[in-house]
Amino acid sequence: MANQNQSPLKAIRLRFTAIVSLSFIIMPLIAHAAAVTFGLAIWPDLQGALRQYYLLAFVGFMVFWAVFYAWRLFTPILQWLDSTRHSRFAPADIHIRLQNFSRDYWGFYLCYILAAPQIYYWTNHGLADFELGLFGQLVLLQLVVAILIGLPFYLSAIDSLGRVVALIGITAPIFTIKSKLMLVGGFVPLLTNAVLMLYFWHHTGYQSVGALILLAILGTTSLTITLLSIRTTTRSLRPVQQVLNRDSATSYEELAKLRPQSTDEIGYLTQTLSTLFQHLSDQRSHTRAIFETASEGIIVTNQHDLIITFNPAAEKLFGYRAVEIIGQPFSRLCANISLPRLADNNLGEREIECVNKQGASITIALRISEMQQSGIRMFTCMVADISERKAAEKKLRNAEARYRDLVETAHDLVWSVDEQGYWTYLNDAAKSIYGYSPVEMLGRHVTEFSSPEYLQRDQQAFKQVLEGKELLQYETIHLCRDGSHRHLSFNANGQVNVDGNVTHIRGTAHDITEQKAYEKQLAYQAEHDSLTGLFNRHYFQEELERLVARIARSGANAALFYIDLDQFKYVNDTLGHAAGDQLLLEVTELLRKHMRGGDLLARFGGDEFTLLLYNIEYDDVKKLADKLRMIFENYHFFRENNNFNVTCSIGVAIIDNHARSADEVLAQADLACNLAKTCGRNRTYIYNPEDKDKLGMAEDMGWASRVREVLDNDRFELVYQPIVGISDGKIESYEVLLRMPYDDGQTILPGGFMPAAERFGLIHSIDRWTVARSIRTLAQLRNDGNPVRFAINLSGRAFEDHGLLPLIRAAIKETGLEPSSITFEITETAAIANLNAASRFIEALRDIGCRFALDDFGSGFCSFTYLKHLPVDTLKIDGSFVQGLAHAPVDQAMVQSMNQVAHALGKQTIAESVENEETLLLLKEFGVDYAQGHFMGRPSSLIN
């Protein structure tokens, strides 16, 4: 910008040089002409002076000196504006030179006025003819002419210098308006009148007092008018003078208080300046407010990267106070950063690393804008701390990466479709579910993969999503690449636009094929016998109830066959459980082959089968029963070169509209089967109401009714008998015993009601009630600070109850009970009767953390043979060996043997039925661990 000002400045220099030079050429000519005119000099003498060249040489010197002065005046200005070279001149020096122009200009003229008359007289007359009066008049005439001629050129030169300051600026007034008014309005008219008066006197030779008075009046009038003009101008300029006299710290608010002092242009200009300063004050206030309160740092630097402005936000960001950092290079904050280079490259916002006062690294966003101030290049930097934003962005990117990895690697299908139902996104789970890669499925319609039987349901489901409904756990079946079926559970919701229209649908899908297969397997296991694959007792009883209810409405007839194998126990005890299982499988296949299609066959118990015959006439029942019996009579079981003739006893109950309940029908068939056995086995027997008193079945049915009532009303009771350590006499635990209240206030022992409960399918409910109540009671006792342990008895059919183990797990989890504080007991006979199931059941309890005891040990057949196969913790020696221990050497030997074998297997022993001290001492001598019996403590509802 400075270099661009040099061209007009050179033109101004030429004009200024011409004006000054021309004034020193014209002024001597007119001055000597005036001298000749006024008779102060004669033309021959003037020609003589010119022929001697002294006067010409002096005038030439003056012209040369004027040109040299003009060039010397402008040279420092041009050097200062030239940014390519270093100048030793400052703006203040240049303004001083300009201010000295008036002195130098009139000094030139004064030199001429003093020297020219002397040269004239010296070259023509010499010192002998010197006339002081004439010489004085010549000097005075030269002075008047010089002023009159030099003044226009002087004003023209000042005008040229005014153009100079327009380019370089002005720091203080160089020429005052008052001096110009004095020259134009006072001094010039006065000199003009004086010249005219002298001319008049010279030609007329007449001098009068009136002319002098007139000259004085004219001069006084001119001076008065000039002084009045100067006074008015001074008053007008007073506000401006106030501004000029203020220092640089004067605020815009103070300058806005300027008020006009005249009605001319200066007054109007003063008012305009006041308004301008008010606007500048408001703008500065706004700018200062923005600058001080800006949340971003504002840093201004000059072209040398030196900081000249540093706002509070920048102080807070970098930790430096403004007074500390102003004047420092910007690189002190951000190393290796050049603001001019960044501005030239126009990089916009960029992220850079900087260091604060404490030396900590911070990440900032930097925006640079360039501006010009008095021709100087400046840079404004907007800086913002984005460390937290960058950290948040990093977290977001990491979260997005984790989410992307999670979605892409998820086993569940993550998907989206457009409003038409075409896939727009699928994750990699599509490959494992459908057998297609996501790319192969994109653009295809969802229902293209629907199983035909689910196509219409799928279309309706997605239509509901498009209507704004959410799809939750919608189960369907889709087809894979290989044609196999996949059970899928869909969750989906529609994404709507501002108009509320669904633009696309997003969701997930979970492959539940294995879950469905497992559920199907569980449902199958819940309804089927694990050995034979037939329906189990639970399912059979439910079907029997449905059949009885249906027949009560329709009036049709049906029949129930209760089939009991006659030789099963003998085969099982002789050849072992494996042979018994094989026999059951062959019998199952035999029954399947010879039963009617549509009838229901079930395994009801160990060697008991039940068969429901639908829509059968009474006359056909006896024939079918005898046919089945004959089939078994002709059947032979071969095992290990042994041949067994296995027969069966069949009890039949007719189901008609007189049947009141499934339990009644089942009891009738059971009674008929028992009568068939009583009659010699290998028989069929059809129930007759008159037969129910023959085996006491009516009493059993009564007990079953009472048991059901007590269960329904939660009236069973628990009592607790202590199990005591023989070595220290401390109570190790309590055995939980079940009692059933009776009408007369007495309680019934399990032996009184358990057979009926087993016969009529209530035993599982009793087991569950006993376990749940015992665990809750034990948890309460231990929470109250009593570190007691329980031994809970289970029935022999507990292994068949698939819901018992989940109940135990749930009860322990709910109460927070320590599982090791519970020991479950089951009789040896029951365990041996179903060894495989017993082993699995015991292992499951041990996995939970519970302990297990084998009750009545020694009462079974070949007890030691099976002991090593059962993972029990404790053996309870049967009371039949303990009751007469003091007087029976054989019992003593048996107890010693059982105790030694148990200890050898790492198991503890408990002796039941300890009734006296003598027996207790013998047990202590044998090394038995614990004792239980009336001598140790009777069963009680209270625990000490």
Taking only the tens place, the pLDDT of each residue in 507-540 is 889 888 888 888 888 778 778 888 888 999 889 9
Question: If DSSP codes are grouped into helix, strand and coil, which group holds residue 860?
Answer: coil
Taking only the tens place, the pLDDT of each residue in 862-891 is 456 666 667 888 988 888 888 888 888 888
Long-range contacts of 289-295 (CB under 8 A, 24+ apart): 295/384
Query: Looking at residue 408, what is its pLDDT?
Result: 63
User: Tokens 């994109």 belong to which residue?
Assistant: 442
Residue 853, H or E segment: strand 851-857
Distance CA 449, CA 482 (A): 12
Distance CA 676, CA 138 (A): 179
Distance CA 352, CA 335 (A): 10
Of 237-241, 420-424, 767-771, which range is least confident? 237-241
Of 129-143, 312-326, 476-490, which range is least confident? 129-143
Query: Looking at residue 589, what is its pLDDT?
Result: 92
What does the chain come to in residues? 944
Query: Looking at residue 562, what is its pLDDT?
Result: 93
**Model-level pTM greater than 0.95?**
no
Query: Looking at residue 137, what is its pLDDT?
Result: 66
Query: Looking at residue 40, what is its pLDDT?
Result: 65
Q: With bands split at pLDDT 50, 70 and 90, how would you rate the model's confidence at 233?
A: low
More confident residue, 251 or 673: 673
Transcribe 667-693 into DSSP letters.
HHHHHHHHHHHHTTSS-EEE--GGGTT
Of 350-354, 655-659, 694-698, 753-757, which range is least confident? 694-698
CA 65 from centre of chain: 85
Q: With bands split at pLDDT 50, 70 and 90, how would you rate the model's confidence at 136?
A: low
DSSP state of 596: P
* Residue-averaged pLDDT of the chain: 79
Of residues 885, 775, 776, the one with CA closest to residue 823: 775
Query: Looking at residue 86, what is its pLDDT?
Result: 46
Residue 767 has pLDDT above 60, yes or no: yes
Residue 789 has pLDDT above 90, yes or no: yes
Of residues 750, 748, 556, the one with CA closest to residue 659: 556
Distance CA 420, CA 503 (A): 9
Q: Rounded mean pLDDT of 44-71?
A: 70
User: Tokens 């005046």 belong to which residue?
Assistant: 73
Query: Looking at residue 1, what is its pLDDT?
Result: 44
DSSP H helices in 606-661: 618-633
Q: With bands split at pLDDT 50, 70 and 90, how would you rate the model's confidence at 84?
A: very low
Taking only the tens place, the pLDDT of each residue in 570-611 is 787 777 778 888 999 999 999 999 888 889 999 988 889 999
Residue 352, H or E segment: strand 350-355
Q: Rounded mean pLDDT of 177-203?
A: 61
State phi, psi for 909 to the nearest 5 degrees: -125, 145
Distance CA 619, CA 625 (A): 11
Q: With bands split at pLDDT 50, 70 and 90, how would you rate the model's confidence at 80?
A: low
Q: With bands split at pLDDT 50, 70 and 90, how would you rate the model's confidence at 4?
A: low
Query: Looking at residue 693, what is its pLDDT?
Result: 52
Distance CA 462, CA 502 (A): 12
State phi, psi for 148 to the nearest 5 degrees: -65, -40
Cα-based distances in Å from 398 to 392, 404, 429, 655, 799: 10, 9, 22, 72, 53
Q: What amino acid positions are annotated as catalytic residues?
A: 607
Structure tokens given for 144: 């008047």
DSSP H helices in 816-913: 828-833, 835-848, 863-867, 879-882, 889-904
Cβ atoms 150, 23 nearer than 8 A:
yes
Of 209-213, 235-239, 703-707, which range is least confident? 209-213
Q: Rounded mean pLDDT of 52-63?
A: 71
* Angle between the N-to-C axes of helices 101-124 and 54-81, in degrees from 0 to 180, rounded to the nearest 10: 170
Residue 278 has pLDDT above 90, yes or no: no
Distance CA 815, CA 821 (A): 13
More confident residue, 559 or 35: 559
Structure tokens given for 52: 């001697």
CA 205 from centre of chain: 114
Cβ atoms 487, 510 nearer than 8 A:
no
Of 685-694, 812-821, 911-920, which range is least confident? 685-694
Cβ atoms 773, 815 nearer than 8 A:
no
Cβ atoms 461, 497 nearer than 8 A:
no
| HSE-CB of 262 using CA atoms within 13 angstroms | 18
More confident residue, 384 or 196: 384
**E strands, 512-641, in order:** 558-565, 600-603, 608-613, 636-639
Structure tokens given for 439: 């790319």
Residue 429 has pLDDT above 70, yes or no: yes
Distance CA 691, CA 679 (A): 13
Taking only the tens place, the pLDDT of each residue in 819-856 is 999 999 988 777 776 777 888 888 999 999 999 988 87
Report percent pLDDT > 70 for the chain.
77
Distance CA 871, CA 875 (A): 11
Of residues 406, 411, 441, 444, the one with CA closest to residue 426: 441
Query: Looking at residue 861, what is its pLDDT?
Result: 41
Cα-based distances in Å from 923 to 89, 731, 858, 874, 926: 126, 16, 16, 16, 5
Query: Looking at residue 241, what is its pLDDT?
Result: 65
In terms of average pLDDT, the best of 31-45, 198-212, 472-486 is 472-486
Residues 6+ apart with CB under 8 A from 685: 649, 650, 651, 652, 672, 673, 675, 676, 679
Query: Looking at residue 930, what is its pLDDT?
Result: 94
Structure tokens given for 191: 């000199």
Taking only the tens place, the pLDDT of each residue in 325-382 is 888 888 888 877 777 777 766 656 778 888 888 888 888 888 888 887 766 788 888 8
Q: Beta strands 608-613 and 600-603: pairing type?
A: antiparallel
More confident residue, 125 or 587: 587
Distance CA 351, CA 343 (A): 14
How many other β-carbons are positioned within 10 Å of the β-carbon of residue 906?
7
Transcribe 239-285 into DSSP letters.
HHHHHHHS-TT--HHHHTT----SSSHHHHHHHHHHHHHHHHHHHHH
Give the bridge partners for 301, in sequence order.
Answer: 307, 379
What is the Rg, in whole angstroms, of the alpha carbon atoms belonging to the chain? 65
In terms of average pLDDT, the best of 159-163, 787-791, 871-875 is 787-791
Query: Looking at residue 163, what is its pLDDT?
Result: 72
Query: Looking at residue 324, what is its pLDDT?
Result: 84
CA 227 from centre of chain: 84
Query: Looking at residue 518, what is its pLDDT?
Result: 81
Report percent pLDDT > 90 for the chain.
17
Structure tokens given for 319: 């930790």
In terms of average pLDDT, the best of 163-177, 288-302, 498-512, 906-920 is 906-920
More confident residue, 503 or 794: 794
